[in-house]
Amino acid sequence: MTDTLAITEKSRLRRMHERGHFDRPTINTILDAQPMCGVGYVIEGTPFVTPTLQWREGNHVYWHGSSASRALRQSRNADVCLSVSILDGFVLARSGMHHSVNSRSVTLFGTAFKVEDPDEKLQKLTHFVDGLFPGRYGSLRPDHAQDLKATMVLCMEISEGSAKVRTGAPSDEEEDYALPIWAGVIPVKTTVGEPIPDPRNLDGVAIPEHVRTFRYGSTRS
């Protein structure tokens, strides 16, 4: 296993030039920073994109849903494309052409497999929750067997794909820097607000450490 993904025809489809990255640390950091993803799949020749949450363990990425979900049943053992994007800012240039966004994105290609073993499935779901909120799973009411049965976990190896990152100031045509036009970046930030306790929480139930210290967008190993 190398530290870099293979550069394939598929993963080169995106305009790569200076913004493309194939190294695992860059790809993993983006995946870990943004659980929201879109999973693309094909049903009878038609493209579908389903928004869902992904989580990573080593060189695999996971997502889950209802076992009855047609999206998951159709993705199983099939080609999928998993896409994660983070918008970091609007880039305002001196011509319309050079307006852009600062962003980080990852596109992965592969075959989705179902996690079949029930113990492994529970372990993956535990990692999903604990990856976001360390230690939470053990504090919860244990899963009912029928709920686990009704949940499907899909898995894909991180082996084909790439990241794309744009940062910094606008890139204008050299002669346009002489124009009296305001250019710059409007940063976009994602922040976490004050936790809102469920009104039905029992009296005296303290807010857990994993909620108080939750940082969205932080990286995990």
Residues 161-190 that bind its own copies (CB under 8 A): 164, 169-170, 176-190
Q: Taking contact as CB under 8 A, which single stretch among the options 22-30, 55-63, 75-83, 113-121 is the one that binds its own copies?
A: 75-83
Residue 192 near residue 49 (C-beta atoms within 8 A): no
33 touches its own copies by CB under 8 A: no
User: How far, in Å, CA of 103 to CA of 88, rounded?
Assistant: 5
Shortest Cβ 41–its own copies spacing (Å): 5
The one among 31, 103, 154, 162 contacting its own copies by CB under 8 A: 103
User: How far, in Å, CA of 35 to CA of 132, rounded?
Assistant: 9
Residue 76 near residue 112 (C-beta atoms within 8 A): yes
Shortest Cβ 2–its own copies spacing (Å): 23
The one among 2, 46, 218, 221 contacting its own copies by CB under 8 A: 46
Per the structure block, which two tokens stand in for 146? 């029928």
The one among 19, 60, 76, 136 contacting its own copies by CB under 8 A: 136
The one among 4, 167, 207, 213 contacting its own copies by CB under 8 A: 207
216 touches its own copies by CB under 8 A: yes
Residue 108: name the closest of 132, 85, 131 by CA.
Answer: 85
Shortest Cβ 75–its own copies spacing (Å): 9
Task: State the DSSP code for 23.
Answer: B
User: How far, in Å, CA of 125 to CA of 104, rounded?
Assistant: 26
